[in-house]
Amino acid sequence: MHGWLPHFIAHWHYFAVWAMMAVECFVPIFPAEVVIPVATLIATRGTMSVPGVLVAGVLGSLSGTSVWYAVSRALGRERFDGLVFRYGHVATVRPHQVARIHKLFERWGAALVCVGRLLPGVRALISIPAGIARMPIPKFLLWSAVGISIWIGVLTYAGWLVRGQYLRIERFVSPIATAIIASIVILWIYRLLTWRRA
């Protein structure tokens, strides 16, 4: 499979999957919806195992989201909100988004930590109120792992389903993946540059 994304995954294998899933939690330029199916398709050709892609994706996402948890737990709400106000533009996280997640967490608690992993825009941010509320670490990791595993599992299965059409879709995968990621990067840069005006 040609293209920079398949080449990166094929060269670095599980590390590439882990790294991109971890980065997604901070700067959303490598969506799991693109990375995991592509990695799974590559795995079906024998260079990696499909379960290995699943595990690497789960561990990567869990690693990234755990950093949010640790930082918010260490800083507390007031200092963390100040951090978001000053540097939130890097991850395009706005204070009102964090406030909204706090309210949802107060209502749903651990259930939101699990279900939130399936929801775009909530996936990474849910770690913040969990950390500030000092949710027990084993409980946070357990519910996070459950939600992340479900979502990464669905994406892995989607990639595995189309394995028989590998040769037919090979020519389309890289351009489509590149277009999606390029669009996200352009949007991220735009939001970064216009943050103060917003």
CB 16 within 8 A of CB 8: yes
Four-residue CA torsion sign, 177, 7, 51, 159: positive
Q: Say how many CA atoms lie within 13 Å of 40 toward its Cβ.
A: 24
- Distance from CA of residue 66 to its chain's centroid? 12
pLDDT by residue for the chain (198 residues), tens only, comes to 556 788 888 889 999 999 999 988 877 777 888 899 989 988 988 889 999 999 999 999 999 999 989 988 988 877 777 767 665 655 566 666 777 777 778 788 788 888 888 877 677 778 888 888 888 999 999 999 999 999 999 999 988 888 777 656 666 666 776 777 777 778 767 776 766 544
The Cα 150–Cα 145 span in angstroms is 8
Determine which helix (DSSP H) or strand (DSSP E) holds 191, and give its type and residue range.
helix 166-193
Q: What is the pTM of this model?
A: 0.79
